[in-house]
Chains A and B, each alone.
Chain A
Amino acid sequence: MLQKIGYRYLILIALAVVVAVLPLIFPSSYYFRVASLVWVSALAAIGLNVLMGSAGQVSLGHAGFFGIGAYAVAIGPAHFGIPPWAALLLGCIISSLLAYLVGRPILKLKGHYLAIATLGLGVLVALVITTESRWTGGPDGMPVAKLVLFGWRVSGSDTWYWVTGGLLILGTWIALNLNDTPTGRAFRALHDSEVAARVAGINVARFKLQAFVIAAAYASIAGSALALMNGFINPDQAGFLHSVEMVTMVVLGGLGSVVGSIVGAAVLITLPQVLTVFQEYEHLLLGFIIIVSMIFMRDGIVPTLSRILAKRTQA
């Protein structure tokens, strides 16, 4: 246990160092933007990893919650005059509430059936956002007011780099906290054997719902952060492709590994940027790399690499 506590802070310190040191090697503000995008995506992926990696329940509609968060900070200030930071919290509450209400019936489903039900939820949210153009600007999207905190106007890609980096560290801390607590153990237990978890007195339905709500809250806050950072939002952020992208980040990085979700997000965001030099072959190569890495690192990048590393140090 002592090792575990040390391990938790080691990860946080390493992450903080990475966030602090990266700007030193950034040649232009474009890099700040890409890195901020990684931090935001990683935040959403970490939340989804609580649901998928720890509790073992799939969600193919998670971009829906991302979209709710994003449109909350767009619609709140524009139509209701709510300050952006309050709209962020409100979006998080709405997402959590929706996850709670919808999760109760659909989390009774398992495997593929749950995947389809969550997919439906995501599609539904995207549909509402696209069609309610009076509120959302429809398929064209809508502008997002600048975030103002205590008179401080948050703008510029380097400022957003630090804000999103801070959010990611906070999100990582919470996700790491959860792992070795009664709640975290209940998640992992019901993942491995639902019947044994129930016999141990775990209310499986309740804990699945908790994991679903946590994941929705993470996605919502990440969505709000992205919308505020970009100053613009369109329905693609709530769409099915974005849901798939989030799942890919979690699986590619390593199910159940918090660091894995960050690495998965980093790979999936930066790889297309790197591959642009190959022009029309970009997507082909991206797909190829993902397939190859899933074949050779089936448990995900981080768990596989740490296992190899552990073997090396033992030998």
Chain B
Amino acid sequence: MTILAARDIGISFGGVKAIDDVSFAVSPGQILSIIGPNGAGKTTLFNIVSGVYERDQGQVELSGEDVTGLTPDKLATRGLSRTFQNLQIFQRMTAAENVMVGRHLRERCNLLADLFRLPSVTRQNAETRDAALAFLDDVGLRSSADVPAGSLSYGACKRLEIARALASEPRVLLLDEPAAGCNAVETEEIEELIRRVAAKGIAVVLVEHDMKLVMKISNHILVLNRGKPIAEGKPQEVRDNPAVLEAYLGKHGAREAARA
């Protein structure tokens, strides 16, 4: 059963085809990884699927409905959330507030009630904060709840983004390089976290450069190079695919690798 499907996606920037005929599908509880050398178009693909960019061709389906061209906030209401490769943290808010923003769709938001801070608003605020603290706990940031997000370490910000994305209780989660800049211990924590997320039945699409992590947790891998899909399949199949080795290491490198 597919929850998120992208079909024949294509986009050009000034005549350069950044994404050309890329398709993928992911089911609840599955982890799909999209890998490829730098500039392969992984983040661009994420930006199209999450509604940040407008694609030139192709179609995105979420829960069987055509959602092509919907804005990110509309997609969020349908259960799609994501993190960003270059951090998009609310710097001037505390860690807890960041995650509380992630609860936006789970909250009733009425301007007049908010202006006069009706008792219902105060009550809801407490509930939202409790929920946010639970999500922070999930990523190991509970103790930093009231620290301004701008003063958190890079690795902590990465996890904060995941907590914020999870706070909306999405059905599909797009993670853009969650382990980038993390040390071995942090990477292991992220791996555990992604496994737990998938175990809850959330479909995870992962863009990641840490191959050890990708090979360990992916159910399925899609390899892009220069905007085109060059291979896909189970981790083992992709690992042994000569086209993949060539894309990463070049022709010479691939020969060396085969000999090794």
Which residues on A are within 8 Å of B, measured CB to CB? Answer: 1, 5, 174, 177-178, 180-186, 188-189, 191-193, 195-204, 210, 214, 256
**Contact call A195/B72, Cβ cutoff below 8 A:** yes
Asked whether any CB of chain A lies closer than 8 Å to the CB of B121, the reply is yes
Asked whether any CB of chain A lies closer than 8 Å to the CB of B101, the reply is yes
**Contact call B88/A202, Cβ cutoff below 8 A:** no
Of A5, A196, A198, most B-chain CB atoms within 10 Å: A196
**Contact call B115/A1, Cβ cutoff below 8 A:** no
Q: Which residue of B lies closest to A183 (CB)?
A: B114
**Contact call A189/B101, Cβ cutoff below 8 A:** yes
The 9 closest A-B pairs by CB, nearest first: A201-B76, A181-B114, A196-B88, A177-B117, A182-B109, A201-B105, A198-B72, A192-B90, A183-B114
Also in contact, A185 and B100, with CB within 8 A (given A1-B126, A199-B72): yes
User: For chain B residues 49-73, which have a beta carbon within 8 Å of chain A?
Assistant: 50-52, 71-73
Q: Nearest-CB distance from B97 to chain A (Å)?
A: 6
Asked whether any CB of chain A lies closer than 8 Å to the CB of B77, the reply is yes
**B104: contacting residue among A177, A186, A192, A256, CB under 8 A:** A186
Q: Nearest-CB distance from A92 to chain B (Å)?
A: 14
Of B104, B105, B116, B165, most A-chain CB atoms within 10 Å: B104
**Contact call B121/A199, Cβ cutoff below 8 A:** no
Also in contact, A192 and B91, with CB within 8 A (given A181-B117, A184-B114): yes
What are 26 residue pairs bridging A and B, where the CB atoms are less than 8 Å apart in the complex? Answer: A1-B125, A1-B126, A5-B122, A174-B116, A177-B117, A180-B125, A182-B114, A183-B115, A186-B101, A188-B97, A189-B90, A189-B93, A189-B104, A192-B92, A196-B88, A198-B51, A198-B71, A198-B72, A199-B72, A200-B104, A200-B164, A201-B77, A201-B105, A202-B104, A203-B73, A204-B73
**Contact call B125/A200, Cβ cutoff below 8 A:** no
Given contacts A189-B90, A210-B111, 11 further A-B pairs with CB under 8 A are: A181-B121, A181-B125, A186-B104, A189-B104, A191-B92, A192-B92, A197-B101, A198-B71, A199-B82, A200-B164, A203-B73
Asked whether any CB of chain A lies closer than 8 Å to the CB of B168, the reply is yes
Also in contact, A185 and B104, with CB within 8 A (given A199-B82, A200-B164): yes
Residues from chain A with Cβ under 8 Å of B90 in the complex: 188-189, 192-193, 196-197
Asked whether any CB of chain A lies closer than 8 Å to the CB of B24, the reply is no
Q: Which residue of B lies closest to A175 (CB)?
A: B115
**Contact call A198/B73, Cβ cutoff below 8 A:** yes
Residues from chain A with Cβ under 8 Å of B100 in the complex: 185
Q: Nearest-CB distance from B60 to chain A (Å)?
A: 15
Q: Nearest-CB distance from A262 to chain B (Å)?
A: 18
Q: Nearest-CB distance from A261 to chain B (Å)?
A: 17
Asked whether any CB of chain A lies closer than 8 Å to the CB of B239, the reply is no
**Contact call A199/B50, Cβ cutoff below 8 A:** yes
**Contact call B164/A182, Cβ cutoff below 8 A:** no
The A contact surface, by secondary structure, is: helix
Residues from chain A with Cβ under 8 Å of B84 in the complex: 195-196
Query: Roughly how many angstroms separate A189 CA and B91 CA in the complex, as a whole number?
Result: 9
Residues from chain B with Cβ under 8 Å of A199 in the complex: 50, 72-73, 76, 81-82, 88, 165
Asked whether any CB of chain A lies closer than 8 Å to the CB of B89, the reply is yes
User: For chain B residues 113-131, which have a beta carbon within 8 Å of chain A?
Assistant: 113-117, 121-122, 124-126, 128-129
Residues from chain B with Cβ under 8 Å of A195 in the complex: 52, 72, 84, 88
Q: Nearest-CB distance from A195 to chain B (Å)?
A: 6
**Contact call A185/B101, Cβ cutoff below 8 A:** yes
Residues from chain A with Cβ under 8 Å of B36 in the complex: none
**Contact call A193/B88, Cβ cutoff below 8 A:** yes
Query: Roughly how many angstroms separate A178 CA and B115 CA in the complex, as a whole number?
Result: 5
**Contact call A192/B72, Cβ cutoff below 8 A:** no
Residues from chain A with Cβ under 8 Å of B92 in the complex: 188, 191-192, 256
Q: Which residue of A lies closest to B116 (CB)?
A: A177
Residues from chain A with Cβ under 8 Å of B97 in the complex: 185, 188
Residues from chain B with Cβ under 8 Å of A5 in the complex: 122
Question: 1/0 per residue B153-168: CB within 8 Å of A?
Answer: 0000000000011001
**Contact call B114/A178, Cβ cutoff below 8 A:** yes
Residues from chain A with Cβ under 8 Å of B91 in the complex: 192
**Contact call B115/A202, Cβ cutoff below 8 A:** no
Query: Roughly how many angstroms separate A7 CA and B104 CA in the complex, as a whole number?
Result: 24
Residues from chain B with Cβ under 8 Å of A210 in the complex: 111
Asked whether any CB of chain A lies closer than 8 Å to the CB of B227, the reply is no
Residues from chain A with Cβ under 8 Å of B10 in the complex: none
Query: Roughly how many angstroms separate A8 CA and B90 CA in the complex, as a whole number?
Result: 22
Residues from chain A with Cβ under 8 Å of B52 in the complex: 195, 198
**Contact call A192/B89, Cβ cutoff below 8 A:** yes
Residues from chain A with Cβ under 8 Å of B125 in the complex: 1, 180-181
Residues from chain A with Cβ under 8 Å of B51 in the complex: 198
Residues from chain B with Cβ under 8 Å of A183 in the complex: 109, 111, 114-115
Residues from chain A with Cβ under 8 Å of B50 in the complex: 199
